[in-house]
Copies of this chain bind each other. A is one copy, B any other.
Amino acid sequence: MSLLVVGSVALDTIETPFGKVEDAVGGSAMYFSASASYFTDVRLVAVIGEDFPGEPLEFLGRRGVDLEGLHRTEGKTFRWIGKYTHDLNEAITIDTQLNVFGDFHPVLPESYRDSEVVFLANIHPALQLEVLEQVREPKFVAMDTMNFWIEGEREALGKVLERVDMVVINDGEARMLADEANVVQAAKKIQEMGPDYVVIKRGEYGALLFTPGDIFFAPAYPLEAVFDPTGAGDTFAGGMLGYLTKHGTFDTSCMKSATVVGCTMASFDVEKFSYENLEDLSLAQIEARGERFQALTNHEPLALLDGDA
């Protein structure tokens, strides 16, 4: 199966308590593709400006990511300037410069239109709909969104939600979308809007997967050195969708493992700036860390009914 992602490729200027980078390569589609490429073929749709460097594209090419849908146009690349304080769960946006992304309308190359799995990264819901119009017969569609669209583009967002199988959003976005403080009830309300599967990302705490009849929780691995959380959410989604596409099954069991793979990939991402730590992993390395995740919550069965208490 092949996996299509539509989103942003960006240049990020980021300050964390541990350092600062200027014009580091980022964007949702960049992180997603790098992460998913460890598991499956990826087709990328995004736009970059004349100033975007060549090396990241060579990297994606080496990782087998199809770049036919990556358009380079006149103007400057989309830029995000942000920072994190010691609460690494929350990014503070200092400036967003849309640049070439302002006029972006995703056009899928003919060769992409048979994509079976689709990830609509965080872009305007109207653009997410444009993508869905161009994909012939997707088997599984997942989406991300953000508070900006939840507040201002409810109607278009509602139309996307009706057509997707899974939504991957963070805690605060889920609460806002459902207008409900309790995360379990929020997930249920979102399921009623369309998607069977709701994945709620909780930063350093992990991710919750809500299926039609089940709840699953994948913890984030407690890392000693979280350096830069930028891209963690998209790296998570890339790992999750990449794993699902590799196996071509979308049942609850595979979905649970995929959630753990997502958390595993995100744990690599946050250890360095940009996509640096996603450049040269091996599946054995990913599996080894995935096993550490599993060990993190493994325990003997509770012995409550025996003994002399």
Contact = CB atoms under 8 A, between A and B. Distances in A.
A94 interface: no
Contacts of A294: 299, 301-302
A182 B221 CA distance: 12
Given A286-B304, A307-B246, A296 B215 contact: yes
A88 to B, nearest CB: 8
Contacts of A226: 182
Contacts of A47: none
B309 A260 contact: no
B39 A297 contact: no
Given A208-B222, A284-B305, A299 B257 contact: yes
Interface string A187-229: 0000000000000001011101000000111110011111000
A183 to B, nearest CB: 6
Contacts of A145: none
A226 B183 CA distance: 10
A216 B283 CA distance: 24
Contact of A287 (B184, B206, B304): B304
Contacts of A185: 224
A254 B299 CA distance: 9
Interface in A226-262: 226, 243, 246-247, 253-254, 256-257, 259-261
Contact of A247 (B254, B284, B303): B303
Given A40-B309, A217-B297, A247-B307, A302 B182 contact: no
Contacts of A307: 246-247
Given A243-B302, A287-B305, 14 more contacts: A39-B309, A41-B309, A182-B226, A183-B204, A185-B224, A205-B206, A206-B219, A218-B297, A256-B298, A257-B300, A283-B304, A287-B304, A290-B304, A294-B302
